Amino acid sequence: MSYKCGSYHIIEKTAISAGIYSYVILCPDVAEEARPGQFVHIKVEGFTLRRPISICDIDRRNGSIRIVFEIRGHGTAKITDSNVGDNIDMIAPLGNGFTLIENIASDRRIITVGGGIGVAPLLGAAKVFRESATAIIGFRSYAQIILANDFKQSDVHVITCTDDGSVGVKGSVVAPLEAELERNDVDMVYACGPQPMLAAIVKICESTGVKCEVSLEQRMGCGVGACAVCACGITREQKESMLMVCKDGPVFKGEEVLL
Amino acid sequence: MNKINRDLTVTVAGVTFPNPVIAASGVYGFGESYTDLYPLSLMGGISCKGMTLNPKEGNTPPRVAETPAGMLNSVGLQNPGVDVFINTHLPRLKKEGANIIIANIAGETPEDYAEIAGRLDETNVDMLEVNISCPNVKKGGAAWGVSSEGAALITKTVRAATKKPVMVKLTPNVTDITEIAKAVQDAGADAISLINTLFGMRIDIKTKRPILRNNAGGLSGPAIFPVALRMVWQVVRAVEIDVVGLGGINCAEDAVEMMIAGAKAVQIGTAIVSDPLAPLKIIGGIEHYMDINKIKHIKEIIGTVQPW
């Protein structure tokens, strides 16, 4: 792990849905190192704790990264006071990203499954695979849909789900995932979203024997593995232990996560 | 201004630190997380994560909550155990050029403390910091630190088990901190560090659940600095042994205040969680303070408070 700590320039800010913002940050040294699934840890003026936000997309050529996040409380709301031209103080890139399969066979694919704001960290991963990726994205209703076009623009096949059926498949991401896995051509499932959704995905992947990685969330302190507050229960080699979401995650193998 | 002759060294319990800024136990792990940013040799000292005899998994998350000008934590002393420290972290810290290395030790029983201190006595660790102040464990920890008898018993036990300098870390969650400090001094401590966190709580008003899974936890950060400063000032006047001040120090001015109150050195905790570069900024700020006030030796300011 090699991370930077510094002040970086905001070059783009967009409100992409109610309470959801997209920022593009110029940070060539971070973009160079960053991998899909890693996160940035943002200092918020007037708050003791930084806010961890997953990296949505990485543009090495432009030396920038994109983050997409939801206003959850006063801290994340405060971040959105920052505008293009302002600087953002962040530690990045942090954590372990997704294990990206190299040289995927032409008749094989990967699936990303995201719920709500959980679709954000999956864009960067799906883009690596382009047409060999299927993104299943789930939201409460049409108004909450984000990033669908970003996936499509990268030639990723998109299946949209809404709880109320206002767009796409009615219901959760689970049924479409099951249907997709029946085709027996999936090498890996990458998932991020609410805990019950992740638990269901892990179960399906286990029963179908497909490898799965999930990105977890936890209230975080230092972000670099020193303060031990962002613990999560993980089973490795039949042994259950408390690992740190910031340093050991945020991406974990589905079968080792205790959801 | 004579920058070349600027001297930041301080001595605590006979141990000389190259500068008075020490990473507080709990926020710095075993020094492995910040080497991407700067060499550990820049720190005056490092107080390592509280270690117990056997590995400890700590409390169920969430373990942290934001508070006005601070944070609550309930880690619960998660650590790999003293042997991993001795075999892995201590040699690495020495190899990486860390200056003064302090082992923070915690236990449930006096026997635990004695055993850990005994094992560390045979190593090249520079100092022991005895944690009788952790609010987040069910047994031991602060249970020892809230009474003069308990504090004295653990201090005496550790004192008998090691020849290393012994610093005892006190909890602020007591009626009269000076009584505990005196008891610890009389029991053979070489130094006192204070304060550990203040016991606090937050509740999510939507779910009516405490934010911490442990319901309550330790409050740290700038919010507690005035309390820490007052307690350090009181303890410095009550005992003769060296005092190290900590609790919410967030900038060089806070560190200088703490030393003027009588602290021989300072520990930086939550400020590092907010800003990994905080210790370096504080060291730089102390140097700047010395330059503009024509202070050659930082020792000159210790205990210079002029109370009304």
* Residue pLDDT, tens place only, B52-79: 999 999 999 999 999 999 999 999 999 9
Is residue A98 within 8 A of residue A251, CB to CB? The reply is: yes
pLDDT class for B2, splitting at 50, 70, 90? very low
CA dist B70 and A221 (Å) reads 11
CA A113 to chain centre: 10
> What is the predicted pLDDT for the residue at A119?
98
Beta strands in B74-190 (DSSP E): 100-105, 127-131, 166-169
Q: Which residues contact A65 (CB under 8 A, 6 or more apart)?
A: A24, A25, A27, A30, A31, A34, A40, A55, A56, A57, A58, A59, A92, A93
Spans in chain A with pLDDT lower than 70:
1
Q: How many residues does chain B have?
A: 308
Mutate to test the interface with A, among B66, B77, B204, B211 (most CBs of A within 10 A): B66
CA dist A52 and A65 (Å) reads 14
Token output for B140: 């031991």
CA dist A73 and A80 (Å) reads 11
CA atoms within 13 A on the CB side of A76: 16
Q: Do the chains contact at A222 and B63, CB–CB below 8 Å?
A: no
Q: What is the mean pLDDT of chain B?
A: 95
Residue range B120-155, pLDDT digits in tens: 999 999 999 999 987 777 777 778 999 999 999 999
CA A40 to chain centre: 11
- Cα dihedral sign, B154-B156-B162-B166: positive
Residue range B68-114, pLDDT digits in tens: 999 999 999 999 999 999 999 999 999 999 999 999 999 999 999 99
With a cut of 60, say whether residue B1 has pLDDT above it: no
With vertex at residue A223, the alpha carbon angle to CA A244 and CA B137, rounded to the nearest 5 degrees, is 55
With a cut of 50, say whether residue B197 has pLDDT above it: yes
Query: What are the residue numbers of the active site of B?
Result: 134
> What is the predicted pLDDT for the residue at A114?
97
Across the range B243-262, mean pLDDT stands at 98
Q: Do the chains contact at A2 and B36, CB–CB below 8 Å?
A: yes
Residue B90: how many other CB atoms lie within 10 Å: 21
Q: Which residues contact A103 (CB under 8 A, 6 or more apart)?
A: none
Across the A/B interface, how many CB contacts are shorter than 8 Å? Answer: 97
> What is the predicted pLDDT for the residue at B103?
98
| Entry pTM | 0.94
With a cut of 0.90, is the ipTM above it? yes
CA atoms within 13 A on the CB side of B166: 29
State whether residue A149 is helix, strand or coil.
helix
Token output for B9: 């060294």
- Cβ–Cβ contact A49 with B under 8 A: yes
Which residues of A are less than 8 Å from B61 in CB distance? 218-219, 229-232
